[in-house]
Amino acid sequence: MFRKMKLFLLLLIVSLFCVIPSFAAESTDESVLGNDRWSVQNDGDLIPNTTAAYDIGGASNYVDNAYITTLSTTGYVHLTTPQVGILSLPLTSFLFENTAEPLSTSTTPGLEIDNVIPNINWADGETSAVQVTFRVPDDYLSGGAFRLLCDSSNDSTPEQVDFDVYVNTSGSTWDDAATDQTPVALTLSAGSPETVTLTVATDFSSLVAGKYVTLRLWRDNVSTGTGDLEVSYVSFYYNRK
């Protein structure tokens, strides 16, 4: 009986060695951080696969083919060159600034179909602002600006987009003052879709995830352009974690 027990224990030990994976070689499980820049060592440490500087969770912990011993409490690991996040702001989510009336084909400015796609259209002399409010995404790291897809119906003098923003925070006093930003003029010929970037000065200096931003857009009628200003797409873009 004793010999049978010893044989059984020996076989059990051998079987355990057969099923335990070998950690002699480092693992390159991409699911650990969602990319192939890192490897998992047999002691559980992480090491970059290439010689580069990495920013761990926004802190000033840089590594160069060295073991990583700390990770951010936020759970993010990102490169020193941040990735870009994009939040689309649908045209139908914009409202008139004073009446909160939704845009339609009969309002001024109104929704139109030009160049086969919908747009918010300001004719010459129309300057009413439209606005939309959104929450800054949780993966926000830094920066923040707006991109528009625009067009004009007049080649001679380009139309200009004017804008401002209000930034609010839960538990704080409502923001009731905004900086009138510098209008941005279209530069391409009429009939050519153009990406227009709206960069916010001052009011985004303390922007963080979870704040609420109200963007107001209108046609700057100070310029002598007489064509329609057409805005076909609006997005908020930022550096993300």
CB-based contacts of 39: which residues, under 8 Å, 6+ apart? 26, 27, 28, 46, 47, 48, 49
| 160 membership: H or E segment, kind and range | strand 160-168
2 by DSSP, 3-state: which? helix
Any bridge partners for residue 151, and if so which? 230
Phi, then psi, of 141 in degrees rounded to 5: -115, -50
pLDDT by residue for the chain (241 residues), tens only, comes to 555 555 565 556 655 555 444 433 343 443 444 455 566 666 555 555 554 444 444 444 444 433 344 455 455 554 556 799 999 999 999 999 889 999 999 999 999 999 899 999 999 999 999 999 999 999 999 999 999 999 998 877 788 999 999 999 999 999 999 999 999 999 998 889 999 999 999 999 999 999 999 999 999 987 777 889 999 999 999 999 8
What is the C-alpha to C-alpha distance for residues 148 and 137, in angstroms, rounded to an integer? 19
pLDDT at site 178: 94
**Residue 93 corresponds to which tokens in the numbers above?**
């989510």
Contact between 142 and 151 under an 8 Å Cβ cutoff? The reply is: no
pLDDT at site 49: 58
In the chain, list all ranges with CATH 2.60.120.260: 83-240
Of 65, 62, 60, 33, the residue nearest 49 (C-alpha): 65
CB atoms within 10 A of CB 2: 6
pLDDT at site 5: 58
Domain 83-240 CATH (choose: 3.40.50.300, 2.60.120.10, 2.60.120.260, 1.10.287.950): 2.60.120.260
pLDDT at site 129: 97
Strands 110-114 and 117-122: antiparallel
pLDDT at site 66: 39
Q: What is the b/e burial string over 161-196, where b = at least 16 CB atoms within 10 angstroms of the residue's CB?
A: bbbbbbbbeeeeeebeebeebebbebeeebeeeeeb
Q: Give pTM, 2 decimals.
A: 0.68
DSSP state of 188: S
pLDDT at site 79: 52
Phi, then psi, of 192 in degrees rounded to 5: -115, 120
